[in-house]
Amino acid sequence: MDFISIIIQAVLLIVGFVLLIKGSDFFVDGASNVASILKIPTLIVGLTIVAFGTSAPEAAVSITSSLSGSNALALSNVIGSNLFNMLLIIGLCALLNELKVGKEVLNLDLPFLVFLTGILTVFILLGWNISRVEGIILLVLIIAYVSYLVYNARKSKESQVVEKPKMSLLKSIIYIVCGVAAIIIGADLVVDSASYIAMAFGMSETLVGLTIVAIGTSLPELATSLTALKKDENQLIIGNVIGSNIFNISLVLGASSAISPIAINPNMLVDIVLMLGVTILFFIFGKTQDKYDKKEGFILVALFIVYMAFAILRN
């Protein structure tokens, strides 16, 4: 085993994560500012550009994986990221402070997330792959969902609020271009480095995707949620996690499989069913009390620790 090469790849992996996270920040700042210049309401920007921005790392890694033939990494990244979001981010935040769930989230967003996760599970069990047609269906679903959100938002008073531009159009375009470039380069580094490290240590691509890559690409959601917790903005935490999970399944896997059908390793059946089970449990916890409290937070964090231990031991 060449330890120098592994250290170099580990450094490149960290550099890749930094580029992904900072790139998505630059992209969101630039795109949001262009929206402000065009007088697009702040609420609609949040529902579209910002929601996509936090899922940009997962999208970049999964699409790059599909293009390079590392489909196991594409799927395991999404499963690991969604589990990380629901179990650790919400669990940790609920342990620190009770999280109330809004009616709209309970009546629309959470049921849609359960529906999407169920549809994905059915697609996988039908043919042990996610075909191009199924990928296109997932993309159509996210377009319909976002369109409905924008339509609903336009009817509310909040939708009339337009944020003032913070930079010039030229600077905004530079931010967008640099952000996209950083995301693309970062995704390449993460996929290549993670694959190299996995092979060097005898780890499967699936394990790397479920753990290292999933946690790394979910750092924007974690950072956003902890910042929102300090400001007591509970709805932002819930919306950030649910929105990210919805985008991960519909946009990330939809685009990845539309580019290159994703073959499913039967060994991942446990992870797929667990993601569906956790999503349903997540919905039940929210629906029964309209909140996530410390008891539920403890259960979610405990489940995350058990799952991580299982994923590592299984390898």
- Residue pair 303/278 in contact by the 8 Å Cβ criterion: yes
Quote the pLDDT of residue 47: 58
Mean pLDDT of 106-122: 93
Quote the pLDDT of residue 306: 93
SS (H, E, C) the chain: CCHHHHHHHHHHHHHHHHHHHHHHHHHHHHHHHHHHHCCCCHHHHHHHHHHHHHHHHHHHHHHHHHHCCCHHHHHHHHHHHHHHHHHHHHHHHHHHCCEECCHHHHHHHHHHHHHHHHHHHHHHHHHCEECHHHHHHHHHHHHHHHHHHHHHHHHCHHHHCCCCCCCCHHHHHHHHHHHHHHHHHHHHHHHHHHHHHHHHCCCCHHHHHHHHHHHHHCHHHHHHHHHHHHCCCHHHHHHHHHHHHHHHHHHHHHHHHHHCCEECCHHHHHHHHHHHHHHHHHHHHHHHHCEECHHHHHHHHHHHHHHHHHHHHHC
Q: Kindly indicate the confidence band of residue 121, based on its pLDDT and cuts at 50, 70 and 90.
A: very high
Higher pLDDT, 16 or 137: 137
Quote the pLDDT of residue 279: 96
**Interval 48-67: pLDDT, tens:** 676 677 777 777 777 877 77
pTM attached to this predicted model: 0.82
Share of the chain above pLDDT 90, in %: 24
Kind of pairing between the strands at 291-292 and 99-100: antiparallel
Quote the pLDDT of residue 117: 96
Given a cut of 60, is residue 1 above it in pLDDT? no
Share of the chain above pLDDT 70, in %: 91
CA 224 – CA 216 distance, rounded (Å)? 14
Mean pLDDT of 96-110: 85
Mean pLDDT of 156-166: 66
**Interval 69-86: pLDDT, tens:** 666 677 888 898 899 999
Higher pLDDT, 289 or 298: 298
Range from 3-7, 45-49, 157-161, 217-221 carrying the lowest mean pLDDT: 157-161
Mean pLDDT of 131-145: 93
Quote the pLDDT of residue 111: 94
DSSP state of 213: I
CA 267 – CA 285 distance, rounded (Å)? 28
Q: Which residue's entry shows tokens 């377009």?
A: 143
**Interval 179-208: pLDDT, tens:** 888 887 887 788 788 878 877 887 777 788
